[in-house]
Structures are given as structure tokens and as C-alpha cells.
Amino acid sequence: MPPESPAVAVIVDISKSRTHPDRAALQAEIEQAFARVNEILPGVQRLEPTFSDEFQAVYADVPAALRATLLARLFLPEGVDCRFGLGEGEVRTVGTGVGGAVQDGSAWWTARRAIDEARAHQYAKLGFLRTWYRRDAAAGDPASSEALVNAYLLARDQVVSTMNPRARRLLLGQLLGSTQAQLAAAEGITQSAVSQNLARSGANALAAGAALLSESLDTPTNGGDR
């Protein structure tokens, strides 16, 4: 990417990683899940581990970052979850390290702020929350876009957090373009049952909300959260 460009930086940390009985196995499971996200939506920079229990990525715009973080949650194995901080701003290359380019910029600062706020919200009154978004104030008044994105994320995380494993698999299949008939065959249930599950679980509401949000941001959806 150019030395300095507008983008959305994403910082991810593993929820409750220090209490997991097998930290190495947990890391491997998450890396496998995120590798599948990278195959579908590689972004400007792939979602990869950095240090300790943290992962990072860069996406071209907010809708792409929203789609990637939703896919990431759905690909995670049952019982494993992560927090996501999304920061929109500038990404600037300032040097080269052993892992490649060393980056700085307002996108990374706001992503760090966002994940700290996601953690604070999760441990306060919003236990279901896993994702938060911030935008560099230098790009203009961020209040309206931040409110729109975070309102969607509050609803999205609430819905995903209450889904059972089958509902998550069906939503993931829908996002990846599987037909209801294909999903029904994979689950060993009827197509009618798939349709009812997608409506009852909130999957259809997530798709509609993502489309409306993308329109309000005047940014192509790149497929949106569909």
C-alpha cells in the first residue's frame, strides 16, 4: 500500500485467553479460523498474529472490515471468541522490521482506542459486545458515522452472541453464498427449517442492517454482510 493511505486498521485479541487450559491449541484454532477469512477477504493486509494473543489486519473501507470481523467470529470454533477494534484513519509506513513494514498512523491509534473501549463495554453492562469502531477526528466530524457503525455493531454482536452453533453455521453459509437447499442438506434438515432459522435467529436482520449502513456511508458493500 502507499506510504500513507486512508484505511481501516483492525486489532483483535482473544477473549479470556489467559484462563484457557491449552493456550497453544487455542492459538492454532484461531489462526486456522482467520486463515479462512483471509481466503475469502484478504484485505489490504491479511489478518495475522502479531504478538501474544493479538492479531492485526488492514481493510480498504468500513464495510470490508465489518464483513471480515463478522466472518471471523463465525469461523471461530464453539466456545472461542475474540474482541475487535476497528480504526478508520491513515496508515503510514515508518520503517521495516523482522516481520515486514513497521506502521503507524491514526488508523492504528483509533483501532487501539476502539478495542480498549470494546473491552470496557464488555466487562461493564454490555457483556455480549465484541466489536467497536472509531474514526480519526481529523477526517471531519466522526460523530454521525461512529454512531451509525456502533449502533449496527451493538445489534450485530447481540444477535451473534445469542446464536446457537447451528444458527451460526447457517448464517456463515448464507454469507458465503450457499443456497438454503445446500444448507439444509449439510445440516440434515428441511429447507423450510433453514428459512425459519435464518429469520428467527436474526441473520436476515443482520444482512438488511449491513446494507442500510453501507448506503448511509456511501461506500460499496463489497458483498456486505450477506
Per the CB < 8 A criterion, the answer to whether 39 and 141 are in contact is: no
Name residues whose C-beta falls within 8 Å of residue 173's C-beta, 6 or more positions apart in sequence.
Answer: 182, 183, 186
Do 135 and 57 share a structural domain? yes
Residue among 51, 67, 63, 60 at smallest CA distance from 11? 51
At residue 30, the pLDDT reads 92
Beta strands in 119-169 (DSSP E): 131-135
Residue 108 grid cell:
492504528
Q: d(Cα 219, Cα 96) in Å, to the nearest integer?
A: 32
- Percent of the chain topping pLDDT 90: 62
Structural domain contains residue 144: no
3-state helix, strand, coil in the chain (%, to 5): 55, 20, 25
Total domains in the chain come to: 2
Do 105 and 32 share a structural domain? yes
pLDDT in tens, 154-164: 999 999 999 99
pLDDT in tens, 27-59: 889 999 999 999 999 999 999 998 878 999 999
Do 181 and 69 share a structural domain? no
Residue among 37, 46, 48, 65 at smallest CA distance from 153? 65
Per the CB < 8 A criterion, the answer to whether 93 and 102 are in contact is: yes
Do 33 and 109 share a structural domain? yes
Structural domain contains residue 226: no
Residue 79 grid cell:
466456545
Average pLDDT, stretch 191-216? 88
Do 90 and 29 share a structural domain? yes
pTM of the model: 0.87
Do 205 and 110 share a structural domain? no
Question: Which one of 53-62, 72-81, 190-199 scores highest in mean pLDDT?
Answer: 190-199
Do 168 and 124 share a structural domain? no
Identify the domain containing residue 101 by its residue range: 4-139
Do 129 and 17 share a structural domain? yes
Is the pLDDT assigned to residue 138 strictly greater than 80? Answer: no
Q: d(Cα 160, Cα 180) in Å, to the nearest integer?
A: 19
Do 121 and 39 share a structural domain? yes
At residue 167, the pLDDT reads 96
Q: d(Cα 73, Cα 42) in Å, to the nearest integer?
A: 16
Structural domain contains residue 152: no
Do 107 and 18 share a structural domain? yes
